[in-house]
Amino acid sequence: MRKKKLNIIIDTDPGVDDTSAIMLAMADEMVDIKLITTVCGNLDLKTVTRNALHVLEKFNRTEIPVAMGAKKAMYRVSPDARFIHQNEGLGGYIPPKTVKTKPIETSAIEAMYNCIKENKNDISIVACGPHTNLGMLIEVHPDVVDMVDHIYCEGCARYGVDGETYISFNVSTDPEAFEIVLNSGIPITIIPSRMGRELANFNEEEVYSLKDINDAGKFLFDMYSGYWEPAYPDRRIATNDSCAYLVMRYPKLFKTRRAFFTVDTDKAPGKTIIEFNRHGNVNYAYKVNRKKLHEIYFNTVKKYDNIKLK
């Protein structure tokens, strides 16, 4: 049994799957969320920040500081993902237009840097959105690379390996930032697009069962009801960012290989090229114990049994 809490920063653009990952972390007594930073991605920065603050209010966790980050990608126009996360970013759940809680005044870059210095070599980053904040952090404070324990993220497609051709939204939104992170030397574990969509996804029956667990399950069901994964013949929910969190918390659920990653920033922005190599710069997750992962996920939701959501 783990005795020491894991200190983490969640860098995020909520987003349905981002919110799911935040919920898993908040319910985990062995995880200390030191900071949440927001970044333009699934929606604009104002909306995703509102969503992060609303989730903290809803679960009575407003002691967790939230810092606003980048409004756009480092060198290009940022797209959004309203087509799957819907106009308010939380799928079938409609959040209030405004929240009472405010983000802290410190920018995400400086808040992350301060937090990392205070927890030197004892803090990991779970990156659930584009890597803009992280790329800027490394450029502004290069000494940070020797203070971060690990980065866990969702975001890559293998292009030609096992037929996967999906471009990750998080990577393609800001490939230059992703390249900075890849080349930083910070240890990184990556969950590929295929993991959340095909190896660890929820089927329709599992999604509908959530609403009968408790208020938290009903909240997840409401979000997921407007978040069905497109381009598949069945109704399924991708668990991308949940997997990014779970590979940090329960690494034995996953099988990984070392690989050398590069990213195209020119002809096909966001395309990742992967060469499996034991001296590679990335720990690549290629397999998961689906049954056990789902069991942990649903058991974590049950930890909210005694909480009535606002």
Which CATH number applies to 6-302?
A: 3.90.245.10
Alpha carbon distance 129, 51 (integer Å): 14
H or E element that contains 202: strand 202-203
Give per-residue pLDDT as tens, 91-124: 999 999 999 999 999 999 999 999 999 999 999 9
- Contact status, residue 113 vs residue 144, Cβ threshold 8 Å: yes
Question: Which pLDDT does position 155 carry in this prediction?
Answer: 83
Ranges in the chain, pLDDT < 70: 1-3, 157-167
Alpha carbon distance 234, 201 (integer Å): 11
Alpha carbon distance 168, 194 (integer Å): 10
Query: Beta strands 150-154 and 124-127: pairing type?
Result: parallel
Question: Which pLDDT does position 159 carry in this prediction?
Answer: 47
Question: Which pLDDT does position 78 carry in this prediction?
Answer: 86
Query: SS in 3 state form for 218-284?
Result: HHHHHHHCCCCCCCCCCCEECCHHHHHHHHHHCHHHEEEEEEEEEECCCCCCCCEEEEECCCCCEEE
Backbone phi and psi for residue 89, each to the nearest 5 degrees, phi listed first: 90, -10
Alpha carbon distance 14, 195 (integer Å): 19
**And the tokens for 68?**
């606003």
Question: Which pLDDT does position 140 carry in this prediction?
Answer: 98
Give per-residue pLDDT as tens, 192-218: 988 999 999 999 999 999 999 999 999
Alpha carbon distance 241, 153 (integer Å): 7
Which amino acid, residue 26?
M
